[in-house]
Amino acid sequence: MAIVRAPDADGAVRAALAVCEAGIRLVEISLTTPGGVDAIAKVRAEAPPAVLVGAGTVLTARDVDDVRVAGAEFVVTPALAESVDAAVAAGLPVAAGALSPSEAVAAVQRGADVVKLFPASAVGPAYLRGLRDPLPGVPFMAVGGIDAEAARAFLAAGAVAVGVGGPLVGDAATGGDLAALRHRAQELVSATSRTT
């Protein structure tokens, strides 16, 4: 999953559409982006139908309502915020942020479809392997400080997915080279498809 944060909606749209062109099929647009809800609507309207467009850093029930209306197809939270319950109630798939075993179990009990292990780089793939032993049925997605090498390691440790932000997007959302972004995205797709 590509995680797009930008200083404005136009930058987010440009970067999101570029990663879609490169073969990434899950794109999260963070609500820390000014105009993020508008960016979600624009990307959903312009991205290929096979791409799922979601909203990240979703914290409140109001956020859930706003992104659902904009066309978001999933919600990602950084923690066990009220948005988890609101997304479940709205029928939107949700990746709920958690770090500890207790938070992971609570996320699943509240209806999360995926547990976003965050910040994954702070604990590493060995930590995920440790969580998988007592919690084999919990689908974990590693997010936070992930690059292509870390993505392969987390997938090998049992993550069902990874979320890659800054190392993937780079400066493309602030006017940087979109061709370089497409190249990084293609490399990420290639690297992770060999792992899965």
**Domain residue spans in the chain?**
2-195
Fold that domain 2-195 belongs to in CATH: TIM Barrel (3.20.20)
Under the phi-then-psi rule, with left for phi > 0, alpha for psi from -120 to 50, and beta for the rest, what region is 147?
beta
Q: Look at residue 194 in the predicted model and tell me its pLDDT.
A: 61
Catalytic entry in 21, 28, 42, 46: 28
Q: Which two tokens stand for residue 193?
A: 């498809």
First to last CA, the chain: 14
Q: What is the pLDDT of residue 192?
A: 83
Q: Is the pLDDT of residue 84 over 70?
A: yes
Q: Cα dist. 21→58, 66, 81, 185 in Å?
A: 25, 26, 32, 9
In this prediction, residue 77 has a pLDDT band, given cuts at 50, 70 and 90, of very high
Catalytic residue chosen out of the listed positions 21, 42, 73, 116: 116
Mean pLDDT of the chain: 96
| pLDDT recorded at residue 190 | 87
Task: Provide the edge-to-edge strand list for the sheet that holds 26-30.
Answer: 2-4, 26-30, 52-56, 75-76, 94-98, 114-117, 140-143, 161-163
- Asked about 42 being catalytic, the answer comes back as no
Q: Is 28 a catalytic residue?
A: yes
pLDDT score recorded for residue 97 = 98
- Angle, CA of 131, 132 and 135, to the nearest 5°: 85
Residue 193 pLDDT level (bands cut at 50, 70, 90)? confident
The pLDDT of residue 132 is above 60? yes
Of 52, 114, 110, 119, whose CA–CA distance to 86 is shortest?
Answer: 110
Interval 86-94 mean pLDDT = 98
